[in-house]
């Protein structure tokens, strides 16, 4: 299943690149706002109260676990990877949503392809420089809009919003997108993250209002 999702995601990314990276939705869903959410034009900041200042010269990201080719990349090497842009909606569990967020960075599928996960890898565990962590099924990470973002609206992701790099998984509540990301770990078994241990839903589907366990 993961291989099929990977191939489908790569095909979708290719189609977006033909459209110069950012493709507006041709038809907007009438129920675009998930239940229980309110639309905002701002971008509230929610975090653990820790905003680590990670100099780009010291920043690294490690992709490891159940993979054939684990790797640690510094900022220069990471940004040398093929880059993508995508426009998606952002849904916070605290009941606000923001439409049409334009993110730029490295597609998760690009990392997947490079490290070559083992066939029994089924989950991804993300860790951040602020001590945060979260867990996502690998199949969901292979959607074509999932990325490690370094840019928002054409500008570098600010420190207050999780820069220099953060995880974006638009189809799930935003707490699943680790800020200040430093690790991407492929696992055979699920491992609960920071908020999941503390009573948040393991699923985090906004359309099902999977807020709390």
Cβ(105)–Cβ(147) below 8 Å: yes
Residue-level pLDDT at 22: 37
Question: 166-168 and 181-187 as β-strands: parallel, antiparallel, unpaired?
Answer: unpaired
Q: What is the pLDDT of residues 122-162, one digit of tens each?
A: 999 999 999 999 999 999 999 999 999 999 999 999 999 99
Q: Does CATH place domain 2-18+59-208 in 3.40.50.300?
A: no
- Residue by residue, DSSP assigns 126-168 as EEETTS-EEEEEHHHHTSTT-EEEEEETTEEPPGGGTTT-EEE
* Tens of pLDDT, residues 83-123: 999 999 999 999 999 999 999 999 999 999 999 999 999 99
Q: Sorting pLDDT into bands at 50, 70 and 90, what band is 18?
A: very low
Residue-level pLDDT at 194: 95
């Amino acid at each position: 299943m993961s291989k099929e999702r990977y191939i489908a995601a790569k095909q979708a990314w290719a189609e977006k690149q033909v459209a110069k990276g950012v493709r507006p939705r041709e038809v907007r869903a009438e129920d675009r706002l998930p239940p229980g959410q309110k639309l905002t034009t701002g971008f509230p900041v929610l975090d653990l109260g820790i905003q680590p200042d990670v100099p780009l010269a010291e920043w690294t990201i490690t992709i490891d676990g159940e993979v054939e080719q684990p790797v640690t990349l510094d900022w220069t090497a990471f940004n040398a990877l093929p880059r993508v842009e995508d426009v998606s909606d952002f849904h916070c569990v605290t009941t606000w949503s923001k439409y049409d967020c334009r993110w730029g960075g490295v597609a998760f599928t690009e990392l997947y392809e490079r490290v070559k996960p083992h066939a029994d890898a089924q989950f991804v565990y993300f860790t951040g420089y602020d001590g945060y962590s979260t867990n996502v099924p690998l199949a969901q990470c292979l959607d074509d809009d999932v990325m490690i973002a370094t840019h928002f609206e054409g500008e570098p992701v600010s420190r207050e919003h999780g820069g220099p790099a953060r995880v974006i998984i638009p189809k799930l509540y935003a707490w699943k997108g680790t800020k200040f990301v430093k690790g991407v770990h492929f696992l055979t078994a699920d491992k609960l993250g920071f908020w999941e241990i503390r009573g948040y839903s393991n699923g985090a589907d906004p359309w099902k209002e999977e807020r709390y366990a």
